[in-house]
Amino acid sequence: MSEARARRRARELALQGLYQRQLARHADREIASDLATSPGWAAADQVYFGELWRGVTSEYDALLGLVATKLDRKPAELAPVERALLVIGAWELTHRADIPWRAVIDEAIELAKAYGGTDGHRFVNAVLDKLVPELRASELTVAEGRR
């Protein structure tokens, strides 16, 4: 399996975990343990999942606060899938400069199409796109300079 697919599966598991965390309010460690026994675990980049899961759960409130500055409504009013994807995307934009910002957004869009509401992918795209100038200004400047 390719690294990109394994990373996508790790993001998928993180999405499932955040969804469970929001709705069932289970402990982060319990959710991670459950995910490690799920059918998709073997196909996931487990190292990346661990880093992503620790990051999004330990920084959840701060990441949601960052996202909230780009919303036209309160984060609590968002669908759980879109809220989780925005937190994952915000974490990746903040902490994983090795992943191009376009890839971060593309991955979030694909997961929103697969798991979110009808137009959830457009919403996720718009919000993460608003974070790029703030979180990846230097990368954005380089990309614009190539045009």
CB 10 within 8 A of CB 46: yes
Count other C-beta atoms under 10 Å from residue 110's C-beta: 16
User: Would the pTM of this model clear 0.75, i.e. be above it?
Assistant: yes
Is the confidence at residue 26, as pLDDT, over 70?
A: yes
Q: What is the mean pLDDT of the chain?
A: 92
CB 35 within 8 A of CB 12: no
What single-letter amino acid sits at 121? Answer: H
Q: What is the per-residue pLDDT for 146? A: 52
Q: pLDDT band for position 3 (50/70/90)? A: confident
Residues contacting residue 85 through CB under 8 Å, at least 6 positions apart: 15, 108, 111, 112, 116, 120, 124
Cα distance between residue 25 and residue 19, in whole Å: 9
> Would you kindly state where each structural domain of the chain is located, as residue ranges?
3-145
Q: What is the per-residue pLDDT for 145? A: 56
Is the confidence at residue 1, as pLDDT, over 70?
A: no
Q: What is the per-residue pLDDT for 39? A: 87
Q: What is the mean pLDDT of residues 79-107?
A: 96
| CATH superfamily, domain at 3-145 | NusB-like (1.10.940.10)
Judge residue 50's burial from the number of C-beta atoms within 10 Å of its C-beta, 0-12 exposed, 13-18 middle, 19 or more buried. middle
Q: What is the per-residue pLDDT for 103? A: 96
Cα distance between residue 53 and residue 36, in whole Å: 12
